[in-house]
């Protein structure tokens, strides 16, 4: 337990996050960094960026509700303290992505309407399944749902977005890189803390596996929706940023992520590499805590 205490202490959090990669940043990026003018000036690209960022705000709001709700359900004080640091991380993620919506030109009084307009319903349904466990004070199911399922997914989504923005949008890529570092801590806590609790409570396995199956269904459905509905706009946005880069004399670079070049893949290929990566990660992480991945019906 002593390694666990050190790795997930508030002291460690201070040293590895606010006093490290968040030093000299504002809203997760370099002071004064701006969204590229291509995004701000082109309505199609801007709308696509707003739609994507809304999904991040919705996911992070769910993570904030879950991690704060789990503090009082935690059976030990080391976990409570870790979840307090995670709560602040999630609140910060909500703030960082909300600020990005403002940077993209969303007015403060239009925020909730913009979120309601773009939020994918499946993402909300997946969050509801998780928050039901949290509201019941079910610590084991809540941590599996939050720190393994929801964050395992977020981790891959952020990585893919980070890889595709590293050249085109360093401001957003840096905010994502910090978020990925946070998520790595959160997923690590889930794997380390929950394995032993599941071994102590084997009777909880069927219910937790059912929750994972239900959450995975809605998550995969939200990817399918997003790449189907937004695929055209995504391609258009990418084509325009590549054109702009070519005009300024930049040599187009491939951005290979899990074997797929994100700079040239079509939306169906992007959706497939994301789903496959998320599934592979789910299986690995669940196996580490002694659970077997349950394949949902095809969305």
Total residues interacting with Fe ion, rule: CB under 5 A: 7
**186 lines the binding site for Fe ion (CB under 5 A):** yes
For residue 63, the minimal CB distance to Fe ion (Å) is 5
For residue 147, the minimal CB distance to Fe ion (Å) is 8
For residue 185, the minimal CB distance to Fe ion (Å) is 8
Q: Which of 85, 96, 28, 35 is nearest to 61 (CA)?
A: 96
- CB under 5 A: which stretch of 115-123, 149-157, 201-209, 260-268 binds Fe ion? 149-157
**13/17 Cα distance (integer angstroms):** 6
**185 lines the binding site for Fe ion (CB under 5 A):** no
Q: Is 33 exposed, middle or buried (0-12, 13-18, 19+ CB in 10 A)?
A: middle
For residue 253, the minimal CB distance to Fe ion (Å) is 28
For residue 223, the minimal CB distance to Fe ion (Å) is 18
Q: Which residue has the tokens 């789910």?
A: 282
Task: Give CA torsion, residues 253, 223, 274, 214, to 10 deg.
Answer: 170
For residue 65, the minimal CB distance to Fe ion (Å) is 12
Q: Which is nearer to Fe ion, 187 or 234 (CB)?
A: 187
Q: Which is nearer to Fe ion, 17 or 45 (CB)?
A: 17
Q: For Fe ion, what does the binding mask look like between residues 61 and 90, x meaning CB under 5 A?
A: --x--------------------------x
Q: Which is nearer to Fe ion, 238 or 282 (CB)?
A: 282
Cα maximum dimension of the chain: 62
Of 61, 93, 218, 226, which lies in the binding site for Fe ion, with binding defined by CB under 5 A?
Answer: 93
Distance of CA 51 to the CA centre of its chain: 15
Residue ranges in contact with Fe ion by CB under 5 A: 60, 63, 90, 93, 151, 183, 186
């Amino acid at each position: 337990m002593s390694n666990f205490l050190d790795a997930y202490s508030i002291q460690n959090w201070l040293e590895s996050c606010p006093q490290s990669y968040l030093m000299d940043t504002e809203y997760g990026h370099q002071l004064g960094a701006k969204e590229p003018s291509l995004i701000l000036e082109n309505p199609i690209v801007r709308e696509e960026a707003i739609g994507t960022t809304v999904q991040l705000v919705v996911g992070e709001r769910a993570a904030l509700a879950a991690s704060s709700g789990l503090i009082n359900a935690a059976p030990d004080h080391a976990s409570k303290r870790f979840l307090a640091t995670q709560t602040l991380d999630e609140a910060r993620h909500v703030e960082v992505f909300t600020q990005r919506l403002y940077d993209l030109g969303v007015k403060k009084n239009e925020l909730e309407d913009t979120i309601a307009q773009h939020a994918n319903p499946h993402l909300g349904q997946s969050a509801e399944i998780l928050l039901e466990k949290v509201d019941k004070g079910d610590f084991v199911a809540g941590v599996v749902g939050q720190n393994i399922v929801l964050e395992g997914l977020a981790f891959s989504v952020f990585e893919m977005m980070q890889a595709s923005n590293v050249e085109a949008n360093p401001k957003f890529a840096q905010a994502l890189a910090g978020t990925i570092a946070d998520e790595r801590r959160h997923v690590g806590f889930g794997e380390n803390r929950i394995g032993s609790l599941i071994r102590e409570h084997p009777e909880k396995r069927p219910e937790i596996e059912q929750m994972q199956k239900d959450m995975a269904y809605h998550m995969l459905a939200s990817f399918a929706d997003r790449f189907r509905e937004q695929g055209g706009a995504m391609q258009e946005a990418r084509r325009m940023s590549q054109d702009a880069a070519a005009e300024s004399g930049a040599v187009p670079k491939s951005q290979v992520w899990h074997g797929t070049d994100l700079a040239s893949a079509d939306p169906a290929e992007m959706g497939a590499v994301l789903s496959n990566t998320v599934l592979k990660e789910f299986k690995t992480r669940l196996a580490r805590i002694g659970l077997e991945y349950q394949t949902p019906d095809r969305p």
